[in-house]
Structure 1
Amino acid sequence: MAGRYCSLTQQSAPAFAPGLTAERRGALGGGSRMWVNGTVLHYCFFDRDTDASVIPVPGTGQSRRVSWVGTEEQRDVVRECFGEWQGLGIGVSIVEVGDRSEAELRIGFQSGDGSWSAVGRDALRAGVNDRTMNFGWDLTAPGERGTALHEIGHALGMLHEHQSPYAGLLWDDEAVYADLAGPPNHWSRDTTFFNVLRKLDRDEANAGVWDPQSVMEFAFPSGLILEPEQFRGGLHPPGTLSPADKEFVLRWYPPAGPASVPPPALVPFRSVPLGLQPGEQADFVVEPPETRDYTVGTFGDSDTVVVVFEERDGEPRYLAGHDDGGTPHNATIRARFVKGRRYFVRVRLYSAWGPGQTAVMCW
């Protein structure tokens, strides 16, 4: 029998403009779910009696409330796992807050709703009173700590490792459907296909090689995998961060530079060439000379994501963002800057194509 598995919700595919080259599509596929480096990710736990789902009671015509509130012991497991990812030295900071309106990641513990998470920046699509992550079983049970590490991996932008096109796994499809249709998952065929059998595009994969030891890999019993032969008896990852997991997250979120070296200033009406390679990022600071509405935008033939943060209590807090990936238009943000405050502009390049330089400017 299969174990309990993470069930991601299927998202609609991004609508790219027609005629994109394979290079542009590839760069967008791999990077669009990732946060810009230097982001401070805030998470909170649902903790009120009113934080609950209303679900129908079969055969009664009535409904009941199912709480999203977890025990302090379960919350501690999640905190420890956030700390383990953070402890790798990644360039994204992870901070717990008590106010859900300040949190990009909002975590519930609804039993029976499965364990799942929004992937990377998909969390920004959820309403402030909605979960972006759920744990549907007891994380304090033996062997379940890996579930928290796995869901946090999704929150950082990682996808399921067994769906990597580099895995070379040949499944007994009907055996997989039958196994996951039963307890404890009770998945539909669509859910099983989306979370297990569907192959990712090469540019979506976490890496260019398959890592069967990844924390993003499911454990499978015997009888589901036909090839490679050594996995016919099952696949049994340890539920810990593998060396490849650590390499992936540090590649996307490299450690920040010394605090004594501030980012260069972005001065109003003065453009700054970017000179980035695909996947690279440039950071700037804006200290507005007057309080007014400003526009921050990129120029040139490029796909970029631009995010603006406002410094509050010494910490950059998300203010606005724009992703122009796959469109003919450049990323442009309009926001009110206040004199005496500091703002941070982060630009990550997906791809560039034309002969001219790409640049960023504030005006």
Structure 2
Amino acid sequence: MNDLLHCRLMQWPDDQAAYEAAVTENPANAGITTGTRRKRSVFNYSKLWANGRTLKIAFMDSPEAEHKQKIIDAASQWLPYINLSFDFVDDLQGDIRIATRNNDNSSMLGTDALLIHPDWPTMNLGVKPEHEDFEVIVIHEFGHALGAMHEHQHPQANIPWDKPKVYEFYQNREMNPLTREEVDRNLFAPFNTVDAIYTSYDRKSIMHHPVANTLTVGDWQVSINRKISKKDKRLMKLLYPK
């Protein structure tokens, strides 16, 4: 299996704090819903950056120039489809803070990055520049940083997972094994968010992890997606309109 899930999508565990950070950054994150504020905070809000702003993106551990440029080039592939700007700096301070000297690939979801201690990274890019899917993984993690969820967790995906095999595969893999809880959170649980901020299910999305036929019931698989899809572009234009 071509294993892109060296990715852990990280979300702040306190829903109320995450809601307040999201709405302070961008009041539109509250959405248009009914019910009490607390109910809305837990179940139905988004984590998008304020439209039109510049995100300061800090390289915390000063990777080599070629390595850093490859990250910048990959991340910048989102820019034609969003009304945001990126300011890449070698610094410890940034809205998004990247660490590269580990084996983990992970990102906080959108504005959850605002809740991370300023001395800690909000994104880990442990993938090495020579890896065949380096560009894909960087684009994928930046998609999370912009507020995009995993596409295989789209409410319409209906993937026929063979769950016992999936748990065994991810718990026993050599690189970055996942606990049963992490498998549930990163693969099985459908995301629950404001209807207006996602398009119909997209098997070609760069936010979709590859799904091996050996991990599903019947004949069902998705190969690794290496390009930002048409629906990815449409979604980002919806999230951050110009």
What TM-score do the two structures reach when normalised by structure 1? 0.56
1:202–1:127 distance in 2 versus 1, CA, 3 Å: closer
1:213–1:139 distance in 2 versus 1, CA, 3 Å: farther
Higher relative contact order (CA 8 A, sep 6+): 2
- Other-structure match for 2:205: 214
Q: Distance in 2 between matches of 1:203 and 1:226?
A: 30
Deviation string for 1:41-97 (max 9, x for gaps)? 0101023xxxxxxxxxxxxxxxxxxxxx53333211210022211133x21111112
Paired amino acid for 1:168: N
Which secondary structure does the structure 2 equivalent of 1:152 belong to? helix
- Other-structure match for 1:192: 183
1:206–1:163 distance in 2 versus 1, CA, 3 Å: farther
Deviation string for 1:191-231 (max 9, x for gaps)? 1111111121253796241111111110122211226x4x2
- Other-structure match for 2:49: 35
1:80–1:38 distance in 2 versus 1, CA, 3 Å: same
1:122–1:27 distance in 2 versus 1, CA, 3 Å: closer
Report the count of equivalent residues.
224
1:248–1:31 distance in 2 versus 1, CA, 3 Å: farther
Structure holding more helix per residue: 2
Structure holding more strand per residue: 1
1:178–1:10 distance in 2 versus 1, CA, 3 Å: farther
Q: Distance in 2 between matches of 1:82 and 1:137?
A: 14
Paired amino acid for 2:138: A
Q: Which runs of 5+ in 1 are unaligned?
A: 48-68, 256-363
Which secondary structure does the structure 1 equivalent of 2:55 belong to? strand
Deviation string for 1:115-156 (max 9, x for gaps)? 001111111111221101001221332122100000110110
- Other-structure match for 2:234: 247
Which secondary structure does the structure 1 equivalent of 2:217 belong to? strand
| Shift in Å, 1:160 | 0.5
| Shift in Å, 1:13 | 5.1
- Other-structure match for 1:94: 86
Q: Distance in 2 between matches of 1:252 and 1:27?
A: 19
1:144 to 104, 118, 134: 134
1:21–1:210 distance in 2 versus 1, CA, 3 Å: same
2:150 to 143, 146, 160: 160
Q: Distance in 1 between matches of 2:72 and 2:56?
A: 12
Q: Distance in 1 between matches of 2:164 and 2:85?
A: 43
Identity of aligned residues (%): 27
Which secondary structure does the structure 2 equivalent of 1:87 belong to? helix
Structure 1 contact 146–239 (Cα < 8 Å) conserved: yes
Q: Distance in 2 between matches of 1:205 and 1:180?
A: 32
Which secondary structure does the structure 2 equivalent of 1:166 belong to? coil
Greater C-alpha Rg: 1
Structure 2 contact 199–231 (Cα < 8 Å) conserved: no
Which secondary structure does the structure 1 equivalent of 2:131 belong to? coil
- Other-structure match for 1:73: 66
Structure 1 contact 159–216 (Cα < 8 Å) conserved: yes
| Shift in Å, 1:159 | 0.7
Deviation string for 1:326-358 (max 9, x for gaps)? xxxxxxxxxxxxxxxxxxxxxxxxxxxxxxxxx
Report whether the alignment pairs 1:11 with 2:3: no
Q: Which runs of 5+ in 2 are unaligned?
A: 20-32
RMSD: 2.6
Q: Distance in 1 between matches of 2:2 and 2:197?
A: 24
What TM-score do the two structures reach when normalised by structure 2? 0.82
Q: Distance in 2 between matches of 1:205 and 1:78?
A: 30
Q: Distance in 2 between matches of 1:163 and 1:23?
A: 26
| Shift in Å, 1:9 | 2.9
